[in-house]
Amino acid sequence: MSNDDFPLKELISADRIGKRVVELAHRISRDYCTTSNETGKPLVLLGVMKGSFMFLSDLARALSIPVEIEFVAITSYGDELASSGSPRTVVGMSVPLEGRDVLVVEDIVDSGRTLEFLLEYLKTFRARTIATCTLLNKSEARVVSVPVDYIGFAVPPQFVVGYGLDAAGRYRELNAIHTLETRK
Ligand code: IMP
Ligand code: MG
């Protein structure tokens, strides 16, 4: 796969992603089937826009428990290819989460700052439980320690795109995960 700007190299195929999403969905369905029976309320899948949209949509369809789907946006790194560590804001939190089981769905955990910020922010909503799920885990780039309960794939500390993940708004539509080679 190539394009006008940067060469892309496939890292995780669409087929592997599909299989892993089903495995994660089975685990999540199993882990939450009793709690959702106890509370009588569906699990809230809280997707972090925009990167998680494709993963969340496949995950939600592979789950065998009822869910509610919500999204929040967190002000991002803009077009930079690495974490700037600048302050963030959360946009779009409108549903009451009090007493609910919440699963935060991320595309990738890199420095960990975004997830740390979101988890701190969510504390005030008095959810019953909050767990985290990420398609990709770039653990070698971690700056702050954050709890990640469900991980799709470990990835090296390189910039990746596709399957929802972008570089300056591009490549979200790709079916596979690719590394983006910033040097030609
Ligand atoms: P963190 O705050 O450094 O953990 O970064 C989390 C967010 O940065 C992710 O939700 C992504 O939106 C973005 N991000 C981090 N690494 C990458 C990458 O390799 N490709 C695309 N987006 C990334
Ligand atoms: Mg993200």
User: How far, in Å, from the CA of 50 to the mean position of ligand 2?
Assistant: 6
pLDDT tens-digit series, residues 122-173: 999 999 999 999 999 999 999 999 999 999 999 999 999 999 999 999 999 9
Q: Which residues of the chain have pLDDT under 70?
A: 1-5, 36-37, 76-87, 183-184
User: For a substitution probing ligand 1, which of 107, 140, 144 has the most ligand atoms within 8 Å of its CB?
Assistant: 107
**Nearest CA among 67, 92, 76, 58 for reference residue 164:** 58
Q: Is 101 in the pocket of ligand 1 (CB under 6 A)?
A: no
User: For a substitution probing ligand 1, which of 48, 145, 165 has the most ligand atoms within 8 Å of its CB?
Assistant: 165
Angle at 163 between CA 158 and CA 167, to 5 degrees: 50
Enumerate residues 6+ apart whose C-beta is below 8 A from 36. 42, 43, 65, 66, 101
